Each structure stands twice: as structure tokens, then as C-alpha cells.
A and B are shown apart, each in its own frame.
Chain A
Amino acid sequence: MDFSFSEREEAFRREVREFLAASNPNTGAEGGEDIESAMDRLPKLLAWNQALHEKGWVGFSWPKDVGGGGGGLIEQMILKQECGSARAPMLGLSYMGLAWVGPGIVKYGSDEQKKRFIPPILKAEEHWCTGYSEPGSGSDLASLQCKAVRDGDHYVITGQKIWTSLAMWAQWMILLVRTDSSSTKHHGITCVLVPMNSPGIEVKPIRTMNGETPFAEVFFNDVRVPVANRLGAEGQGWEVTKHALANERSSIAEVTAMVHALEDLKGLAARCSRGGRRAIEDPFVRQRLARMETMIEAMRLTGLRFLTRQLRGEEVGAETSVNKLLRAELEVEIGRLSLEIEGRYGGLAKGSAAVVDGGRWQHQMLSWPAYVIGGGTPNIQKNVIAERLLGLPHD
């Protein structure tokens, strides 16, 4: 074991720090932020994206020939760590574009597709949404029904998607469709890149329990998409998706958001009074804060163990569900504990007089399902662990 960094890596860390000292927009909005206020900050964020892009730090580990930074995994971690501790905004704004669409195109895309799609993702000029789930196909994604029929050099798409995050704002969708209904579940699925302004697409926002509309239903009425927009081969959609989702889960050493939430919770506990004393003096609160810290540290370290395995050229697969489950537990606990620390004030809604921290914790308490359910529920993660890591029989 060796937790030190090489001279080159340390130099890189210094470079990142200097950059952050000069360019961190530090918009200060972390946690409990609603979509509307994120939109208000957009110009600043775009400038931030631009500055990062010039450094080659958006798409840091993507190959240089597609416009990425060609960087290594350790430097990428340093970059994330430093931006995290400086509470800087995300590394690049095209969230889904960077998390899985881009890596999918890098791996499966044609040269034209790479040229067409990668630069706007890096520059945050185009945003993506993900059309996987359907009303009848959530956890059982492979049962999806939305279908594409070939008509000359076009696919004609009919059907419905749901829970499509940011569908109202995205210019593009990475879409899974069934191109062969006679084939067994996984095989007849194809992945297509769809312009959201195509005629026949209808987007209906869905309101969630925190009052926001982060996702939508998307209807496809004979939507024509060129065959050239297919990502990977026909029928290869499941493989493309598995690769994409593996990429999502490989941001495994990322615990910054939770580290910050915990720091802030400790601050909250030091300020709030609970039964006549500061909450931080209450053993019940202390035990839970310490347990939370222990779980976050475990996540960070498990992430580093996986990262080391990746550096050694080993595959990391189902193991990442371990951290996903801890994350789910922590998201719920942050919401729970924060309101308990606030005591009676925990019942105040955002926007009320006397609400603590502008209602940030209430927002968390009403937003955890996004992390717990999105990307696969805990039950499904447990199935994955039990079946792939412990070898137990399939459901």
C-alpha cells in the first residue's frame, strides 16, 4: 500500500489548486438547490465549463483524438478531489453527456459520430437525456417495448419513455428501442441518438414530491431518425447500455457531496438546540454522525481499492453496487438526521419564516429518492451483489 503521490501528480495537484484559486466561481449553491436557481447561475457555470475545457479537464480521461484530456485515472481523482474540497461546481456541465453518453460514443461510435457529438458535450453546448425506462419497464429494463421499424435509411419510432431526467432541456436523447420483437429480451434492443426537436416527440413534465419537475414522460409518434444515428450495431443496444452504466458507477471514489453534507450537518448540530442543549452534545446525534462518517470513509476507501484494481488492469463490475447501496442509505439518513437535529424547526417548509438554512435540509428530505431509486433500486443492487458476487441463484 502506498498513499503517497508522485512528484508529477503533486505538481498536477498544485496546478489544479492554482487554477481553482483563480477561477472557482464558487457559486455557493450546494445541496438543497432547486432547478430554477441552478438555471439562474447558468452563465457563470458556462464560463466555468469553458475555462475547464481549455485546460482539457472536461472529459479528462477521454482520448485526446476525440478532444478529451487523455489523462490518467489518478490525476482524474486528484482533479475531482481538489474541485470537491474547493466546493467548485461539477467538472463539466453536460452531465449525462459526460457520465455515459460520451464514453458510449467514444467506445461504440463511428468517426462521424465522435466528431459530431463529443465537442458539444465537452463545451456544454448540447445536453443529453436518457430514454431507457418505460412505464412497464423499470427495474426490468430489458422488457422495454418502445419500438423502431426500419424504413429505408430511417428508423420510425413509436412508444413511450418515462422518468427521463432533464428531457425538457436536452437537445439529444440516448434512446433504447426494440428493433426485433421476435428476439429474446436482451437481443432485440438497439441504441439510437435522437434529436429532441424531431417531429413527433412530445415531452410532458412530471412533478415530484419536492415540487420540482426534474423529469418527464416522452412520447414518440412515428418519429423518424436516420439510421446513421444508431450507436453500435443493430441489436447491440444492451451491450452499449451496460458499458454506459458501468461508466456511471465507475465514478466510485466520488464521495465529495456526502463529505460536504456531513460537514454541514455537524455545523447544523453545533448551532441547533435540542431539548435545552446543543444537538452536537446529544449522544444519539453523535453516534449517528460518527456512523455516517465511518460509512462515507468506507465508501471513499472502497472506491480507492477499486481504482487500484483498475490501475492494475483488472475489471471492476458488480462490486460497485457496494458503494451504491451505502450511498442510498446515507442519502436517506442525511435527510432524516438533519430534520431531527432541527427538532421542531424541521417541520418548517422551505420558504417559511424561521426555516433553518433556507430550507436546504427539507429539500434533501424530499429529494433522496432521486439517488435511491434512480439508476437502479437497492433491491436490484442487492440482487446484483447476491447473484454476481455470491453466486446465488437468479430471481
Chain B
Amino acid sequence: MEFGFSADQEQLRAQVRRFLDAECPLERVRTIMTSREPHDTGLWKKMAELGWQALVIPQQYGGLGLAWEDLVVLAEQAGMSLLPSPLLADAAAARALCAMGSEEQKERWLPSIASGETIATLAVLEESDDLSENGVTLEAASSPGGVTLGGRKMFVPWGQAADLFLVAAREGAGVSLFAVPAGSAGITVTPLKLVDATIRAAEVVFDGVVVQDSSRLGEKGRAWPALSRVLDAATVTLAAEMVGAADAALRLATEYAKVRKQFGQPIGRFQGVKHRLAEILVDVESSRSLVYYASWAVDHLEDARAQVSMAKAYASIALDRAGEDGIQIHGAVGFTWECNAHLYYKRGRVCRSIDGTPEYHHERLLACQGL
């Protein structure tokens, strides 16, 4: 029994930290977040040189063959820096290809994802915001050329930057998953404007998009169980980012509390302030434990839903509070555009409902137990 990171993982953490401090400080995040480009290609290339896009892709497809818990090491650091990048959406799509793709499909896509040449993303959720299999209504109809996709996907993570969509579609009674290049005829991508501008999402319309049968991952109408496990893994990296962001919000407010003086002393001496900070730390450490364990669980347990739900629920609550209180502890300064506190707050408000709210996950946790 060992619940801690290995020396290699600690090294990865340090490497990621160094890179993000140098290449993506918050000033840079602010520039990227107001840019009209779909994503920052310069940053993307540099990350590819370090092998980040290749992290969880098996070695035979040009990847590094690491585990999801290694990616979580990265995700937590990314969250601390509010890294604005399709990196984790891309990793989730790669995981779907690994889990569900044929040998041919893997050879076709994984090496170029690993090198950073192709950016992939999952297109699952629709207007109904229903995370269950029922939520997938985009239609896949057999046609002479193969399959025709028709419908609309919402909140496609980094859809505007993607070269490849893995699209969940209703096919017969079940759900299938198709690998569809973003440039295919009939696809329209409209960026959504999020409250948190450090992450991106798009609305993607599929209007009579014709794809080959060979672009279907796995069996017809049987994709959901595997896909839902992939979504769980994606939920864990999201939660890890949120823990990182909550920790960064905590550090920012703590540093401020040490230097800001009122009534002749640092405000961090007042318990109204210091106790709130201590409570945030309790939330950060608690959700961190849950996230780390869930990251192990998605690779090692048959069914990791309960672990994932607990991790996401607690991480959401932790970041929400850290974001809100982080602003309050800064006083009026915290309300200004220049103060970074609002960046964490916005991340929390938006991510809370991505991949399921705490309330959704609480329900799911009990449902897993037959309650």
C-alpha cells in the first residue's frame, strides 16, 4: 500500500511547474484569454516538445505510455496556472481512441495526436445538458456512402481548436462513436463565449456529414459503456485542475493576507481571515486525496464511478469556496479586473457544471449503491 507519488512523478511535477512558471504565468494567461485565436499554438508546440500530448498514449503509437495518474500530476499543475489549452480535452479523446478504436484507427490517429499535430476532442453533450446515454440524440443514419450524421453538439471542449471530433451519435437503439475530421463537409463550429475565458468550448453542428463505416469506433450502438468510462477519466483530470486552481487561489489570498495591513497589523492575524484560509486548505487537501485516488481508480477498478463522483463533487465545492473567499479576502481590490482572484472564481463557477454538478454526482454516488 502506497498512496503517494513516485520519484518519476515528482520529477514530472517539477518539470511541469518550471515550464508553466516560465511559459505561462498569469500575464500570459490573460493575453491568451483575450485573444481571438482558437488556442495558443506556440504554447501547444512547446508542450509537444516536452511530450505532454503523448503522455498517456501507448508507446507503440508514439506515446510515452504513462498512466492516468501521471496525467493528473500534470492536470493539477495546469489548474494552478489556469493553463488555457486543449491539452486535457485532447488526452480524453486519445483515451477514447485507445479504449475503443481498432488497430487501424489507433495507427491512423494516435501518433499524430501524440506529436501534437492533431488536436482531438470529444463531442458528446447536447442541448439537453443530459450526461446520460439518453442525452445523445445526434442521429447516425445509414446511407449509401456510409453513415450520415445530423444534429448539434454543445459545449464541445476546445471545439474551435480541434482537428478531430469523436462524435457520440444515436444509431438504432444505442450510441456509437465516430472519428470525424473537423474539416468534413457539413460541419459548422461556433465558439461559445464562456464566463471563464481561460477555457473554451464550441457549439458544433453536423448537417448531413457523411462518414465512412470505418470511422466508427467499436461496435454499432455499443459505445456507451466504454465512452462513459472515458468521460469519467476526463472528469478526474478536470477535478484535478480544479484542485490545482483552488490551491492557487488559496496561496494568492494567503500571500495577500500576510502583507495587507489594517488596524496596524496584517489581516492574516485576524481569525475571520485566517480561519477562512484554514478552511480552504481543509477543502483543498480533502478533495486532492479524492482526486488522486480516483485517478488511480479509473485505471485499476472495474467501476470507478463512485470514486470519480466523490472527487468531482468535492473539487467543485472546494474551488467554488476558494474562488469566492479568495475575492473577499482581497477586499475591494479583489473586485478589480487586475486582481487575479476573479480568474479562479470564474474557473470554479464554470467548471462546477462541466461533467456534472456536485448535486448530480451526489445523486450518482447513491445510485451506484442502489439507493
Chain A residues with CB under 8 Å of chain B are 1-5, 9, 74, 77, 266, 270, 280, 283, 286-287, 289-291, 293-295, 297-299, 301-302, 304-305, 307-309, 311-312, 319, 322, 325-326, 379, 381-383, 385-387, 389-395
A383 and B274 contact, CB distance less than 8 A: yes
A36: min CB distance to chain B, Å: 35
- By a CB distance below 8 angstroms, the chain B residues around A302 are 285-286, 289
Tell me whether B44 is interfacial, beta carbon within 8 Å: no
B1 and A5 contact, CB distance less than 8 A: yes
Q: Helix, strand, loop or mixed for chain B's interface? A: helix
Task: A74 to B293: give the CA distance in the assembly, Å.
Answer: 18
A1 and B277 contact, CB distance less than 8 A: no
Knowing A287-B359, A301-B292, A322-B281 touch, does A383 contact B271 (C-beta < 8 A)?
yes
B290 and A386 contact, CB distance less than 8 A: no
Knowing A1-B296, A287-B359 touch, does A309 contact B4 (C-beta < 8 A)?
yes
B314 and A298 contact, CB distance less than 8 A: yes
- By a CB distance below 8 angstroms, the chain A residues around B69 are 1
- By a CB distance below 8 angstroms, the chain A residues around B4 are 1, 305, 308-309, 312
Task: A391 to B290: give the CA distance in the assembly, Å.
Answer: 25
- By a CB distance below 8 angstroms, the chain B residues around A290 are 313, 361-363, 365-366
- By a CB distance below 8 angstroms, the chain A residues around B314 are 294-295, 298
A298 and B3 contact, CB distance less than 8 A: no
Q: Helix, strand, loop or mixed for chain A's interface? A: helix
29 of the cross-chain contacts (CB-CB < 8 Å) are A1-B3, A2-B2, A3-B293, A3-B296, A266-B371, A289-B366, A291-B313, A291-B358, A294-B314, A294-B365, A295-B286, A298-B310, A298-B314, A305-B3, A322-B281, A322-B282, A325-B278, A326-B286, A379-B275, A382-B274, A383-B274, A386-B278, A389-B278, A392-B257, A392-B258, A392-B268, A392-B269, A393-B269, A394-B269
Task: A302 to B371: give the CA distance in the assembly, Å.
Answer: 26
Q: A319-B285, A325-B279, A393-B266 given. 13 additional CB < 8 A pairs? A: A3-B1, A287-B359, A290-B366, A301-B289, A301-B293, A302-B285, A304-B1, A308-B1, A326-B282, A382-B275, A382-B279, A394-B269, A395-B271
- By a CB distance below 8 angstroms, the chain B residues around A383 are 271, 274-275, 278
Tell me whether B265 is interfacial, beta carbon within 8 Å: yes
Task: A1 to B295: give the CA distance in the assembly, Å.
Answer: 10
- By a CB distance below 8 angstroms, the chain B residues around A77 are 1
- By a CB distance below 8 angstroms, the chain B residues around A391 are 254, 258
Task: A15 to B293: give the CA distance in the assembly, Å.
Answer: 27
